Amino acid sequence: MKAEEIKQYLAELNEELRAIGVKGEVCLYGGAVMCLVFDARPATKDVDAVFRPAQQIRRAAEAVAEAHGLRKNWLNDAVKGYVVPHPQRVLFDFSNLKVYVPEPDYMLAMKTLAARVDESDRGDVELLIKILGLKSTGEVFDILEKYYPRQQIKPATQFFVEELFGQ
């Protein structure tokens, strides 16, 4: 899904919610944020998010999926196990749907914690480091530990970050 498609699907999700008289909230993560906010890549496979009210938003998202031939779980909350309290801001304020995104430092923490070394994740982390003006592994780990306890940070994450800084 490209950024414009994601925005269109979210607007249609809003319309589905409006039709049933429900107000909802969605906070986006992952590739959707990298596409919509940072223009870091042309597309993403799905939209990772946490949302409420969950049941109504799931049904509304299924209607959007059906209308566009998308996978039923194009909007999914699989990311919720990684989410901790963090600052966020409104990206879209539709009539029945508020769409939030995390601040860049939280996106960096979350992306780095996942430590998948595929090209898109690596590129996302490098871009976020650049946006935040970070110059060392210590600065990255300060942000990581602001949100996640040290014992939750895998050794693979440390190696990944060190490699990004040529260590």
> Domain boundary residue among 83, 102, 121?
102
Give the pLDDT mean for 35-58. Answer: 95
Q: Which pTM value belongs to this model?
A: 0.92
Specify the number of domains making up the chain.
2
154/81 same-domain check: no
Confidence at residue 68, expressed as pLDDT on a 0 to 100 scale: 97
Give the residue numbers spanning the domain of 73: 3-102
Q: Is the pLDDT reported for residue 17 higher than 90?
A: yes
Residues 80 and 125 in one domain: no
Which pLDDT score, from 0 to 100, does residue 156 have? 87
62-86 tens-digit pLDDT = 999 999 999 999 999 999 988 999 9
Question: Do 52 and 129 share a domain, yes or no?
Answer: no
Q: Are residues 56 and 74 in the same domain?
A: yes
Indicate if 120 and 50 belong to the same structural domain.
no
One domain, residues 98 and 42: yes
Same domain? 85 vs 7: yes
Last residue of a domain, one of 74, 102, 130: 102
pLDDT digits (tens, 9 = 90+) for 142-158: 999 999 998 888 888 88
Q: 7 with 55, same domain?
A: yes
Q: What is the 3-state secondary structure (H, E, C) of the chain?
A: CEHHHHHHHHHHHHHHHHHCCCCEEEEEEHHHHHHHCCCCCCECCCEEEEEECHHHHHHHHHHHHHHHCCCCCCEECHHHHHCCCCCEEEEEECCCEEEEEECHHHHHHHHHHHCCCCHHHHHHHHHHHHHHCCCCHHHHHHHHHHHCCHHHCCHHHHHHHHHHCCC
Do residues 36 and 83 both lie within one domain? yes
120-131, pLDDT tens digit by residue?
Answer: 688 899 999 999
Per mean pLDDT, which range of 27-31, 104-108, 157-161 is the poorest? Answer: 157-161
Domain shared by 8 and 73, yes or no: yes
Residue 119 sits in the same domain as residue 83: no
